[in-house]
Amino acid sequence: MADTPTYEYFNTSVKGWANGIKRGLVVNARSLPQHNAKDSPKRKAPKLVRSISVGYKKSHGVISQIRFSFAQQGLFIHLGVGRGWVWNENTQTAMRGRKYGGDEIGLLKNRGYSRKEISKMRYYYKDEEKTESIRKKRETINWFDVEIRKGMKWLAEYTGDFYGEKAMDAIVKQMEKPLPLSTKYVKVRPKKQ
């Protein structure tokens, strides 16, 4: 029987995978056209590249969750929203628009919408000709899903192999145990007819 890798080796391998994905995210974030502009000294949000980090959650000493976090502007770049552009769920594109506010919220509440539903609603501007020409400039940039999907196959295979070996070792250990010969605690009752 081959020796199975330990949980420490598993944690080290998974951390190495996550750090490789992080390096890919940093490369993608640096190559974004919006990122090359100089930061204002008054800007409070960090640059996207500096904000990318990896976190782990362990369960019984083994990594069970991996978390990639970054500044909120990374999500805006990914969806192509912000500064007058909102995400349209129906068309799955960025469109010129805004959130509802002020008196519009009161009117929508009178129609029976909850505050939570109203916060998810967006008003899209109707000037379609102008919006169509501008929309081409505001494409979504898929910069983080691509990297995570590239490495997901390796992680799934590695985890499956690791836990498959652990399960097989547990089964072999159970089979090597001697079977109990005493039936001291087993009571057999005849069926009533």
**For residue 97, what pLDDT is reported?**
78
Cβ contacts of 104 within 8 Å, gap of 6 or more: 123
Share of the chain above pLDDT 70, in %: 78
- Looking at residue 190, the DSSP 8-state letter turns out to be P
- Average pLDDT of the segment spanning 12-25: 93
Q: Is the pLDDT of residue 14 over 50?
A: yes
Q: pTM to 2 decimals?
A: 0.66
Q: How far apart are CA 66 and CA 63, in angstroms?
A: 8
The residue among 139, 133, 152 whose CA lies nearest residue 32 is 139
Q: Is the pLDDT of residue 53 over 90?
A: yes
Q: Is the pLDDT of residue 50 over 80?
A: yes
Tell me the H-state helices in the chain.
7-30, 48-51, 72-79, 103-110, 115-120, 128-135, 145-176
- Average pLDDT of the segment spanning 127-146: 65
Which residue would you say has higher pLDDT here, 122 or 159?
159
**For residue 35, what pLDDT is reported?**
46
> Token match 């090597």: residue?
176
**For residue 68, what pLDDT is reported?**
93
For residue 176, what are the CA distances in angstroms to 82, 141, 170?
63, 56, 10
